[in-house]
Structure 1
Amino acid sequence: MKPLRPDDHINEGRRTALKAAGAGLAVAFLWTAGAGPAMAAMSARRQDADAAVAAADGNPAFAPNAFIRIDEDGKVRLAMPSAEMGQAIYTGIAMLLAEELGVGMDQITIEHAPASDALYGQPLLGGGQITGGSTSTRGQWQVLREAGAVAREMLVAAAAAQWRVQASECSVARGVITHGASGRTLGFGAVATAAGKLPQPATVTLKDRKDFTLIGKPMRRVDSPDKVNGSTQFGIDVKVPGMKFAAVRTSPELAGMLGAVDDRAARAIPGVVAVLKLDNAVAVVGDNYWAAHKGLDALAITWTPGVNANLDTATLIDALKQSSSNGPALVGRKPKGEAPSGGKRVDAEYVTPMLAHAPMEPLNATVHVTPGKCEVWTGTQVPTRVVAEAARICGIPADAVTVHNQYLGGGFGRRLETDQAEQAIAFAKQVAYPLKVIWSREEDIRHDRVRPLYFDRISATLDGNGKPVAWHQRITSGTVLGRWLPGALGKDGMDSDAIECAADTPYVIDYSLVEWIRHDMPPGLIVGWWRGVGPTHNLWVIESFVDELAHAAGKDPLAYRRAMMAPGSRPLGVLDLAAAKIGWGAPLPARCGRGIAVASPFGSHVSLAVEVEVTPQGIVKLRRAVVAIDTGIVINPSSIQAQMEGGIVFGLSAALFNGITLKNGAIQQSNFHDYRSLRINETPPIEVHIVDSGEAPGGIGEVGTAIAAPALANAIFAATGIRLRELPVARTALSVPDALKQVAEVSPRAEDAA
């Protein structure tokens, strides 16, 4: 998901997220040298909304904005605007607040924020309460620090008034206000009520970077202890009094419908209490999940074929190729001047497969529908969308819907969708008790909202020195943005996600034309956000093709890239760092190779170098991975390291093994045996080198995934001489030993191995 540029919306983000009363607040922020003042307006409407939230939240002594609650006992509670799905955002956001508020991380209790775009909208995603697009830290970096600074100033003002001293004579540490001259102290709780009666400060000054005590330091995750001891509640763990369990089965054929159901055997199973039906699905309800699951397996179901009965993957690819040749193309990047004449032309075609998300926690939702009300417990990246869908399905106002967000057992974009909640609500409408609906792993994968299938035609013209003087990429795919948020498409219908990292690359090529052709998938085959989305496709194509150009020009792939990049640029910095750390150019054993890729996705700059060995049987062994990441100012280096490691493993797993395929209109993959991840013994050592450039924070959660495939493919070429233009690796020529005979007994050329 492509966010709006932070510099376009920084004031709007503060205006919509810092909910204080009064006319306006001038904020002087000093995180980089020369930074000027930034304005953050506040509205009475947001103040009223805060009062309502505070009252519903136990009416704390002090609630200066939607994020902070301070009780009379000094307890600090943070209403977390983003969903935690393993990316450690609860830790990172808490660090921002703690830094400016003046408390320790151990003094903050984190609570899931209620569903509210008005209070918790993500400024980089149009103001919706959305966790996605690697925007959480970027979007909240200024907002949460300002919220903490406002609260701190008000608490200090209350203490200073009680002591009859100047606020400037006071300091704050670990939730205690100290008057320097007299040594008197007051805890936050002691002045919370008084602070709540004060007007908002006219100005606050955020800390200079040199004064940070938390930001930039390694920090343990705040959610780890509860996850280790098993007390963390994910959506699948929810328990509600009187709750029943439902196991579901949806038509295997995408767009198929439910026909006849013989449920006599199912109803005879102890613990089965009901069989429920929708147009395209059936559920068995039980006193426990095992009874429901057994009952589901006992059903005799007849499905009614739909329009996809004969659909397969080859047909989809052929249709994309036809659209690429004939469909109307939208221009995502216009070239400068006229196309140069002459030179050596290089052409290639790439196919990028559909992918499932396969989070460890299968999709689930618990729903209780009562007259005029609906209550939902689920782990979601879009709580306000769940509210809207519940209101629509139940025919009630949105304010009659309550969504209790939970920890997410993995998201990767899948929980940006609401289909599992919609289905659970539709089933729950048919019963009087709370109903927990759990999708099996098979249902989860076979009815995913998959990453789009892409077909690319790409070409370049090289001058006499082998440098590209013309570049043309034509992308053909379905549109996630056009389905998920049609109003966000460009005026001409352009999907900005489809061309992300293609319309803007690190390379300086004057004549560069990037086009996109929209090719909608058949009904029922729904495309969705997948970790990295557009960049995962575009970087694999572009960085693989740049490698092709380097070899066509007889150049070293690293030197070739460097020659096309602006001197002193941040992408060049990470490219050089990754190459140096992996030992680019050093000799390698036979059948081994190194590959490298560089890009600037999600506001960050990253380069990944991968070293592989390919056996004569076509087995790819991952020897090393070295990544250099410049994500601007570093909040928590521990989280950056973990996210880069996890993202790279996620991306390498997809590139090596995975692709969703169709047969007779049904997804063929079903579980981790045929949709797999790297195992521990297959995972390479991963070195993470962090560049703290001090610039505005960039995204991190999807960066490692997006850069993984091209670095891997380039390393495989260096080891074997086989250029991959289709993924996954497991379905390519490498899986056929005969294809490797030509390189089985010889070392790769020195420049390829490098």
Structure 2
Amino acid sequence: MTVTRRGFLRTTAGSVAALVLSFYVPERARAAPDPETLHPMPNAFVRIGADESVTVQLTRVEMGQGNWTGLAMLIAEELDCDWSKVRPEHAPAAPVYAHPLLNIQMTGGSSGMKYEFDRYRKVGATAREMLVRAAANRWNVSPAACSTENGVVLHGEDRLTYGELAADAMELTPAEEVALKEPRDWKLIGTNVRRLDTPEKITGKAQFGMDVSFPGLRTAVVLRPPAFGSRLVRFDAAAALRVPGVEKVVPTANGVAVVAAHFWAAKLGRDALHVEWTQPDGGGVDTDELLADFRAMAKTRGTTAVEVGNVDAGVAAAETRFEAEYEVPYLAHAPMEPLNCTVRIEGDRCEIWTGTQLQTLDQNAAANLLGTAPDKVVLHTPFLGGGFGRRGVFTSTFVSEAVLVAKAAGVPVKVVWTREDDIRGGYYRPAFVHRVQVGVGGRGVPVAWDHVLVGQSIFTGTPLEAAVVRNGIDATSVEGVAGSPYLEGVPARRVSLHSPTTAIPVQPWRSVGHSHTAFAMESAIDELAHAAGRDPLEYRLELLEDHPRHANALKLAAEKAGWGTAPPQGRARGLAVHESFGTVVAEVAEVSIEKGRIRVHSVTCAVDCGTVVNPLAVEAQVQGSVAFGLSAALHGKLTLIDGKVQESNFHDYEILRMFEMPSVAVHVVPSNAEMGGIGEPAVPPVAPAVANAVFALTEQRLRSLPLRIA
């Protein structure tokens, strides 16, 4: 099929009197689904209506991180439109919305702004140029003689609104190249802009996956294996079918679904099921035994990720030797809105409503299960009630399960997970053990560093394995260690990895590998500083002499936190700095001990994320990351016995409570660095900053999470 840009725009515009602008990418356009089967304008990034509305299609989903506002700001800046007329909406699942690097439509890796910054601005600039040209044609003047302001094209006393020009502009061929504004001319980017999704969420108008409802829709809950490694043998549905409201009981790939008129009937029906399961092989995973095995593995060299110099000789010949082990447990994502997926199947077509971070993979999985083409699967993305990686399942399990239930039941079905379902049968941040051996020279500076990591790979066996796992190394397992700036100047250094397989399913958790590597690295560096009798800030600055972004962030956070001055009585401070997703974050935590428990009073953060689109969004994400990171640092831990997760809900899988929330000060480091992410980078430094503060206060070195005072 040959597609011209003009023809493409005409086709996607349909009969709407509006300017619809998109990118034409030949490789993806040829694979794009038929617009009529998916969405009136599936490939448009911006639509300007005759009513002056500016509708922005979002390639990245909104799950609390601010894409709803930030991406719209990029187009609005270059379009020079009336911000009050901007209306974002989630884009449908279509190849044109693929991540520029991964070539799938997805949200994750704190990559939204970084990879859409130029693309979205170009859309806005291209639309503005077409509107100006349309106005110039009407007035019979040169486009260069026209200007724009707040959604209006101006020429002397003449003025035409974008809505008045939209239909004419649609008839024009987009310019091949457009000039983007210089940063000095930005009016919106870099300013504090209130979030566009806040009013809808305050009033309850915002629609989440759990809110989906239409005539004929049924609710289903699934009884899944009680232990990882168990399989369904048989079930008796008689008692469940006697529960009022229960209509059907159907098997899934490895469970039993109860379909009912409403949730409570489905839950009671599930409680009444009689099910037989196999026992997991070997009796099932026990986390105490598993971590003991990990510790044993950590005493041996793994697959080499980095090796420079003779590490063994360097450690042996050093003036002194430091050795320590750091441990982190399995963690649940626990988003506020539990998983859910609504599916309606009609013939060879399927319609899905779900909060997903991986539209392409989920759309393809549904098509494969139904034996149809992806363009026959319409995937609607509502607001996501939190994600943190949980809604980015590479194997599309929760979407596939819902498709199978709807297919077997023969009716539209919303599959709902309870909190207990997710915590006991979900996917987790893997547990890790780090063993660090350091040969220390003069002034306590490391001269040899041997670092062994043990933990499950999150990408092995997934569709993204080839892109992430190389030569037996899952890059996300060692990120933050293999490329640590602290190690660059160490003459002899080695990082190796063991990636054991278990029955426990794992996947990315907010900040991915950095969530554990920062704890190990920043704890070890702090230990080395104290062993040398040196100030932890001064010691770090010496090691980071060739890394000004890290050094500047540390200096700013320390200055703002009052480092070097006496903290209030009974308190102490600790610091940490870490780079992830292209962003450097330094944090200083001030803590005390109250009734034997760690109390974090304040966290001072300095952030270097390059260009800042919306400072309010940066502040909010850092504050949220601190809360998220503290939940893990102070409370988070999953325990498995005989393959069964013992925790079930927030009473025993605790998250940070309101009274525990510290004050969080966020300071942006002025930077010309390439834009980095902001949704995750403030999570990794939290735990080590707190642990280091506890040591400064109590001289107890806490090397495992969650942090507990002896």
Aligned to 2:144: 168
Q: 2:237 aligns with which of 248, 259, 263?
A: 263
Measured against aligned partners, the alpha-carbon deviations of 1:152-184 in whole angstroms (never above 9, x if no partner) come to 1111111111111111111112221111xx321
Matched, 1:521 2:501: yes
1:532 aligns with 2:511: yes
- Kindly state the Cα deviation for residue 191 of structure 1 after the two structures are TM-superposed: 2.0
Q: For 1:160, what is the secondary structure of its paired residue?
A: helix
1:286 aligns with one of 254, 257, 260: 260
Counterpart position of 1:721: 699
**Given the alignment of the two structures, is residue 579 of structure 1 paired with residue 558 of structure 2, yes or no?**
yes
User: Partner residue of 2:248?
Assistant: 274
Residue of structure 1 aligned with 2:588, choices 601, 609, 615: 609
TM-score (normalizing by structure 1): 0.87
> Aligned residue for 1:661?
639
TM-score w.r.t. the length of structure 2 is: 0.93
User: Shift in Å at residue 311 of structure 1?
Assistant: 2.1
Quick one: distance in 2 between partners of 1:697 and 1:328?
34
Separation (CA, whole Å) in 1 of partners of 2:601 and 2:472: 44
**Shift in alpha-carbon separation, 1:457–1:21, aligned structure 2, 3 A:** farther
Separation of aligned partners in 1, 2:250 and 2:364: 23
1:119 to 96, 103, 106: 96
Residue in structure 1 matching 2:273, options 265, 277, 299: 299
What is the rounded CA distance, in whole Å, between the counterparts of 2:281 and 2:84 in structure 1? 56
Superposition deviation, residue 334 in structure 1: 3.6
1:482 and 2:460 matched? yes
1:119 aligned partner, one-letter code? V
Q: 1:206 matched to which residue of 2?
A: 180
Aligned partner of residue 358 in structure 1, secondary structure: coil
Q: Distance in 1 between matches of 2:455 and 2:33?
A: 46
Structure 2 residue corresponding to 1:406, chosen from 366, 377, 382 = 382
Contact 1:479 1:518 in 2 (8 A): no
Write the deviation string for residues 235-292 of structure 1: whole angstroms up to 9, x where unpaired.
Answer: 1111132111112221110121223433333222211111122252112111111111
Equivalent positions of 1:167-566 (< 5 A) are 167-179=143-155, 182-307=156-281, 309-326=283-300, 328-332=302-306, 334-335=308-309, 339=314, 341-417=317-393, 418-484=396-462, 485-507=464-486, 508-511=488-491, 513-523=493-503, 525-566=504-545
Q: Which residue among 70, 86, 96 is the counterpart of 2:64?
A: 86
The DSSP-based 3-state class of the residue aligned with 1:600 is: strand
In structure 2, C-alpha distance between the alignment counterparts of 1:57 and 1:74, rounded to whole Å: 21
SS for the counterpart of 1:123 is coil
Q: Distance in 2 between matches of 1:57 and 1:158?
A: 27
**What amino acid is aligned across from residue 438 of structure 1 in structure 2?**
V
1:532–1:511 distance in 2 versus 1, CA, 3 Å: same
* d(CA) in 1 for partners of 2:490, 2:369: 52
Q: What does 1:51-130 align with in structure 2 at a 5 Å threshold? A: 53=35, 57-58=39-40, 66-116=44-94, 118-124=95-101, 126-130=102-106
CA distance in 1, matches of 2:496, 2:35: 45
The residue aligned with 1:144 is 120
1:630-669 map, 5 Å: 630-669=608-647
Which secondary structure state, in structure 1, belongs to the residue aligned with residue 134 of structure 2?
Answer: helix
- 1:133/1:177 Cα in 2 relative to 1: closer, same or farther (>3 Å)? same
Instruction: Give the unaligned 5+ runs of structure 2.
Output: 8-21
Q: Per the alignment, do residues 568 and 448 of structure 1 end up closer, same or farther by CA in structure 2, a change over 3 Å counting?
A: closer
1:253 is paired with a residue whose SS is coil
Query: Is the partner of 1:203 in helix, strand or coil?
Result: coil
C-alpha contact (below 8 Å) 2:248/2:409 kept by paired residues: no
Alpha-carbon contact 2:52-2:85 (below 8 Å) kept:
no
The secondary structure found in structure 1 opposite 2:235 is strand
- Asked if 2 retains the 8 angstrom alpha-carbon contact of 1:330 and 1:516, the reply is yes
Which amino acid is the alignment partner of residue 340 of structure 2? Answer: N
Mark the CA change 1:240 to 1:601 in structure 2 (over 3 Å): closer, same or farther.
same
Residues 52, 158 of structure 1: CA spacing in aligned structure 2 closer, same or farther, 3 A cutoff? farther
Structure 1 range deviating more: 258-267 or 214-223: 258-267
**Change in 2 beyond 3 A, CA 1:373/1:52:** closer
Distance 1:584 1:402 in 2: 55
| Amino acid corresponding to residue 377 of structure 1 in structure 2 | W
What SS does structure 2 have at the residue aligned with 1:319? helix
| Residue of structure 2 equivalent to 1:33 | none
TM superposition shift of 1:357: 0.2
Q: Residue 283 of structure 2 aligns to a residue in which SS?
A: coil
- After superposition, the Cα gap between the structure-2 partners of 1:308 and 1:363, relative to the gap in structure 1 and judged at 3 Å, is farther
- 1:370, 1:432 within 8 Å by CA — same for their partners in 2? no
Could you say if the C-alpha distance between residues 114 and 367 of structure 1 is closer, same or farther in structure 2, counting changes exceeding 3 Å? same
Change (3 A) 1:582 1:333: farther
Cα drift, residue 637 of structure 1: 0.6
Task: Quote the Cα distance in structure 1 between the aligned partners of 2:684 and 2:547.
Answer: 23
Greater than 6 Å deviation, 4+ residue runs:
47-51
Helix, strand or coil at the partner of 1:497: helix
Which secondary structure state, in structure 1, belongs to the residue aligned with residue 477 of structure 2? coil
Secondary structure of the structure 1 residue equivalent to 2:478: coil
Give the drift of 1:327: 6.0
How many angstroms does 1:491 deviate by?
A: 3.9
State the one-letter code of the partner of 1:621: R
CA contact (8 A) 1:255 1:308 kept: no
Identify the range of structure 1 (628-637 vs 276-285) with the bigger mean alpha-carbon deviation.
Answer: 276-285
Quote the offset at 1:336 in angstroms.
9.0
Q: Residues 51, 167 of structure 1: CA spacing in aligned structure 2 closer, same or farther, 3 A cutoff?
A: farther
State the partner residue of 2:19: none
Whole-angstrom CA distance in 2 between matches of 1:550 and 1:357: 33
The whole-number CA distance in structure 2 between the counterparts of 1:329 and 1:568 is 28
Unaligned runs of 5+ in 1: 1-18, 23-39, 740-754
State how far apart, in whole Å, the 2-side matches of 1:481 and 1:56 are: 30
Deviates more, 1:337-346 or 1:236-245: 337-346
Kindly indicate whether the alpha-carbon contact (under 8 Å) linking 1:366 and 1:378 is maintained by their aligned counterparts in 2.
yes
| Inter-CA distance 676–335: structure 2 relative to 1 (3 Å threshold) | farther
Give distance in 2, aligned partners of 1:589 and 1:243: 59
Percent identity for Structure 1 against Structure 2: 39
Equivalent residue letter for 1:539:
A
Question: 1:46 deviation in Å?
Answer: 5.5
Distance change in 2, residues 1:46/1:663 (3 Å):
closer
Distance 1:404 1:422, change over 3 A: same
| Conserved? CA contact 2:314–2:439, under 8 Å | no
> Match for 1:170: what amino acid?
C
Are the counterparts in 2 of residues 335 and 510 from structure 1 also a CA contact under 8 Å?
A: no
**Residue in 1 that maps onto 2:604:** 626
Q: What letter corresponds to residue 634 of structure 1 in structure 2? A: V
